[in-house]
């Protein structure tokens, strides 16, 4: 991808000194200026302190990922410099806190250095906490970040705290701008000029899941706070009361899913959101949702594992758990999102599937996408198709688990005259009463498995990126898709024959589509952020394909150049 009008700024420093808010302000201002934005942030599990990094990619073209590395580093302290100095290559730029900061960096040859006394300027203004505002003013002056939209964003943020706080922050911003303009600019890096704003919103992956849930008709949400999924509950808590829905903070993850099952049994569209440790605890109740044919949605925002693992870091290692994580034979529908837009659209899909097929659905996101913000088209509620569960028409004798042509039985809400029934985790006959008859258990399992059997063919076809024959086909999932998209584009520009295959329905697996894609490629590469190569495992188990697995699990996502280099190695 061309670097023209495509700039990556990395702001790094101590957690608590405004790294994240600086990145958020720049991203929001750039989006207001009509530009495309993709952000990535990483921070420690401590409440305050520790190394924190926020990367903003701003472009006049669509962007799919956070990029290879930064063009501009804004180092707020010495640790930020030390951890990133190996990435300061000729042509990159560094804006750093000097004099007055805690370090005096050695600027490598060919790197553009811009010393800005951020700490000293903030202290002179009367508050060290304004250091990030000074830094942002300098970045605006040096790299063409739109001042008008930045000040609009700052005003919106600080106005509610009073004119005194707003004016102080604007004063700190102006001081940083003055310091930036006083420097002699030696590089050509700049954010693209503002264009006519589009009808877009800037939203994080977690907030987008919450928005998608409300667009999909969510009526009940229960959750227990867990990193990195908590913001979904916070978003829903803010908005669901306006739609007369209910949110409950449960005492633990098990209770949250139990409440979701109860609400769904009572006739409400219900869901929860968690991360890997919580999903592990929910495994028995997911089996009950399958056995009781109760519409249920669980969003799993994956994080580094196992155990407590890396709570604030990126990983996509819950695929085994999502697909097979319960005792007995109890499948569920598993979906995986690629980007923030998917977080909206596929949450609607997931609620629809839970309702239509009366079964548990797991929607997989990840820690990187959870906190990333992107510009996405403003969603139009009227553009979404909403599916509601098949309800009993009140005619004849009611059998909750009646055998039907599509194997989906009508549901009667509690209180429906004549619709009384038992919902239990015990095996049961058509009327819900427990049954130990071998033939009945086999028939009921065929019913429960059978109703989702055709989903692999009926859901949206897997996207294929490229045509004809290819030397390498890349199959990947989750937010790694965005990285592969750019890598494929750049590889093609070098004349390499490469194609991409991007499944969103992870289970039931669309085996025929995998096989058809692989038949057009000499080799298949599967990059994913986990240790065992979990999607590769399912590909080998379910298809005749023998892929080359490429895994990382260091707590950070792939970047495009890693995929490019691996494809060249494979060739």
Cβ-based burial of 251 (10 A; exposed 0-12, middle 13-18, buried ≥19): exposed
Q: What is the pLDDT of residue 197?
A: 79
Task: Tell me the per-residue pLDDT of 84-128, one tens digit each, with 9 for 90 and over.
Answer: 999 999 999 999 999 999 999 999 999 999 999 999 999 999 999
Q: What is the pLDDT of residue 198?
A: 82
3-state DSSP call for residue 450? helix
Q: Tell me the C-alpha distance between 475 and 502, whole Å.
A: 6
- Closest of 459, 496, 503 to residue 570, by C-alpha: 496
3-state DSSP call for residue 123? helix
Q: How far is CA 34 from the centre of its chain?
A: 23
Q: Tell me the C-alpha distance between 181 and 9, whole Å.
A: 18
**Residue 422: HSE in the Cβ half-sphere, 13 Å Cα cutoff:** 12
Phi, psi of 187 (to 5 degrees): -115, 175
List Cβ neighbours of 283 (8 Å cut-off, separation of 6 or more): 321, 325, 326, 327
pLDDT values of the chain reduced to their tens digit, one per residue, 571 residues: 446 689 999 999 998 889 999 999 999 999 999 999 999 988 776 666 789 999 999 999 989 999 999 999 999 999 999 999 999 999 999 999 999 999 999 999 999 999 999 999 999 999 999 999 999 999 999 999 999 999 999 999 999 899 999 999 999 999 999 999 999 999 999 999 988 878 889 999 999 999 999 999 999 999 999 999 999 999 999 999 999 999 999 999 999 999 999 999 999 999 999 999 999 999 999 999 999 999 999 999 999 999 999 998 999 999 999 999 999 999 999 999 999 999 999 999 999 999 999 999 999 999 999 999 999 999 999 999 999 999 999 999 999 999 999 999 999 999 999 999 988 899 999 999 999 999 999 999 999 999 999 999 899 999 999 999 999 999 999 999 999 999 999 999 999 999 999 999 999 999 999 999 999 999 999 999 999 999 999 999 999 999 999 999 999 999 999 999 999 999 9
Structural domains of the chain, ranges and CATH numbers in brackets: 6-181 (3.40.920.10), 202-383 (3.40.50.970), 390-453 (no CATH), 462-570 (3.40.50.920)
Q: Tell me the C-alpha distance between 570 and 36, whole Å.
A: 33
| Spatial contact of 370 and 364, defined as CB atoms under 8 Å apart | no
Question: SS3 for 328-375, per residue?
Answer: CCCCCEEEECCCHHHHHHHHHHHHHHHHHHCCEEEEEEEHHHHHCEEE
Q: Tell me the C-alpha distance between 487 and 500, whole Å.
A: 10
**Residue 183: HSE in the Cβ half-sphere, 13 Å Cα cutoff:** 24
Q: What is the pLDDT of residue 1?
A: 41
3-state DSSP call for residue 180? helix
Q: Tell me the C-alpha distance between 191 and 56, whole Å.
A: 11
Cβ-based burial of 460 (10 A; exposed 0-12, middle 13-18, buried ≥19): exposed
Q: What is the pTM of this model?
A: 0.93
- Closest of 478, 455, 266, 442 to residue 364, by C-alpha: 478
């Amino acid at each position: 991808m061309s670097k023209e009008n495509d700039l990556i700024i990395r702001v790094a420093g101590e957690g608590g000194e405004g790294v994240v808010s600086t990145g958020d302000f720049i991203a929001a201002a750039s989006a207001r200026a009509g530009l495309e934005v993709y952000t990535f942030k990483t921070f420690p599990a401590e409440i305050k302190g520790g190394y924190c990094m926020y990367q903003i990619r701003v472009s006049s073209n669509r962007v799919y990922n956070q990029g290879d590395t930064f063009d501009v580093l804004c180092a707020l302290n010495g640790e930020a410099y030390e951890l990133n100095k190996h990435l300061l290559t000729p042509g990159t730029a560094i804006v750093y806190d000097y004099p007055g900061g805690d370090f005096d960096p050695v600027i490598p040859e060919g790197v553009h250095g811009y010393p800005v006394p951020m700490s000293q300027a903030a202290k002179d203004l009367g508050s060290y906490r304004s250091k990030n505002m000074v830094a942002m003013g300098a970045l605006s002056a040096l790299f063409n970040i739109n001042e008008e939209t930045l000040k609009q964003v700052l005003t919106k943020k600080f106005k509610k705290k009073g004119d005194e706080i707003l004016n102080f922050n604007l004063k700190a911003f102006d001081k940083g701008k003055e310091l930036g303009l006083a420097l002699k600019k030696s590089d050509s890096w700049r954010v693209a000029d503002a264009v006519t704003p589009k009808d877009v919103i800037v939203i994080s992956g977690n907030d987008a899941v919450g928005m998608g849930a409300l667009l999909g008709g969510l009526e009940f949400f229960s959750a227990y706070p867990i990193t990195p999924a908590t913001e979904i509950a916070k978003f829903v808590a803010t908005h669901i009361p306006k739609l007369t829905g209910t949110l409950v903070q449960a005492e633990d993850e098990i209770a949250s899913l139990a409440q979701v099952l109860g609400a769904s049994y009572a006739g409400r569209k219900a869901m929860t959101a968690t991360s890997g440790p919580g999903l592990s605890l929910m495994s028995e109740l997911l089996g009950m949702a399958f056995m009781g044919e109760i519409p249920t949605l669980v969003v799993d925002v994956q994080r580094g594992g196992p155990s407590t693992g890396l709570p604030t870091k990126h990983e996509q290692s819950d695929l085994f758990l999502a697909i097979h994580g319960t005792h007995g034979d109890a499948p569920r529908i598993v979906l995986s999102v690629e980007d923030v837009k998917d977080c909206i659209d596929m949450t609607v899909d997931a609620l629809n599937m839970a309702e239509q097929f009366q079964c548990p659905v797991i929607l997989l996101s990840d820690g990187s996408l959870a906190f990333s913000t992107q510009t996405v088209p403003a969603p139009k509620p009227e553009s979404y198709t909403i599916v509601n569960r098949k309800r009993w028409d009140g005619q004849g004798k009611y059998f909750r688990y009646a055998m039907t042509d599509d194997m989906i039985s009508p549901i009667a809400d509690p209180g429906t005259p004549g619709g009384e029934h038992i919902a239990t985790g015990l095996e049961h006959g058509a009327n819900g009463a427990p049954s130990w008859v071998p033939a009945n258990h086999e028939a009921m399992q065929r019913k429960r498995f059978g109703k989702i059997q055709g989903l692999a063919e009926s859901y949206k076809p897997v996207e294929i990126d490229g045509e004809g024959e290819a030397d390498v086909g890349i199959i990947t999932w989750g937010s790694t898709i965005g990285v592969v998209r750019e890598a494929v584009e750049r590889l093609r520009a070098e004349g390499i024959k490469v194609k991409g295959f991007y499944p969103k329905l992870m289970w039931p697996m669309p085996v025929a589509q995998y096989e058809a894609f692989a038949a057009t490629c000499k080799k298949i590469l599967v990059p994913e952020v986990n240790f065992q190569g979990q999607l590769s495992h399912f590909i080998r188990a379910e298809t005749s394909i023998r892929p080359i697995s490429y895994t990382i699990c260091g707590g950070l996502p792939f970047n495009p150049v890693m995929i490019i280099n691996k494809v060249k190695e494979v060739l």
